[in-house]
Amino acid sequence: MKKLIIVDSGCANLNSIYKASRAAGLNPFISDDSREIYDAGAIIFPGVGSFDHAIEVIKQKELIEPLCKAIKDDKPFLGICLGMQLLFSGSEESLVSNIKIKGLELIAGKAVRFPNNLPVPHVGWNQVEPVYNHPLFAGLTGSEYFYFTHSYYVSPASDYNVLAKTEYGLTFTSAVVKDSLIGVQFHPEKSGPAGLRLLANFGKIIADQ
């Protein structure tokens, strides 16, 4: 069985995702060791907090290269919340001395802030509607609610990368895909049975690849 690593980015609630993954039938290991991430067969990359801080932390931990290599090697990869946003070219949140911090640039596009007329952060339960059939959403109807907490959402440059959408004053991308790379804006580990089913589906993607 492929070794599944939950990446300790220093910017995530690892205990919640670990417990939920175990409850969904996965057998993950938590690590911030670049060598283990290089050797992993599959990766979950969770993240919370600010874009700039997270990029600096994973730079310090020397995780950027192994994360990028895992994706380029087509290993099953699930980015969660900020962990998904970091995969993009950048974020409107990033303004340090007027110099924008780049993301991992693995998906073209950027994270953008919700309009000023909407309460932020967007917190709570909301529906996630897949735009086409994908193994990550197998057995889910599209009417399930998942748990969100975020002020920024991703805007992919190509519709090809849009896997699911959600309504919050506007229609935003709540899941993305690029080959074996998947990202979700919501927190499956906080989303009850629907979240556990999604994590179990990711486990099946790992097993089938």
Q: Is 11 among the residues known to form the active site?
A: no
CA distance 165 to 82: 17
Q: Is 189 among the residues known to form the active site?
A: yes
Distances (CA, A) of 92 to 34, 41, 102, 113: 28, 32, 11, 7
Of all helices (H) and strands (E), which one includes residue 7? Answer: strand 4-7
Burial class (CB in 10 A: 0-12, 13-18, 19+), 152: buried
Burial class (CB in 10 A: 0-12, 13-18, 19+), 208: exposed
Tabulate helix, strand, coil % of the chain (nearest 5): 30, 35, 35
CA distance 58 to 139: 34
Catalytic residue among 11, 81, 93, 144: 81
Q: Is 68 among the residues known to form the active site?
A: no
| Active site (catalytic) residues | 81, 187, 189
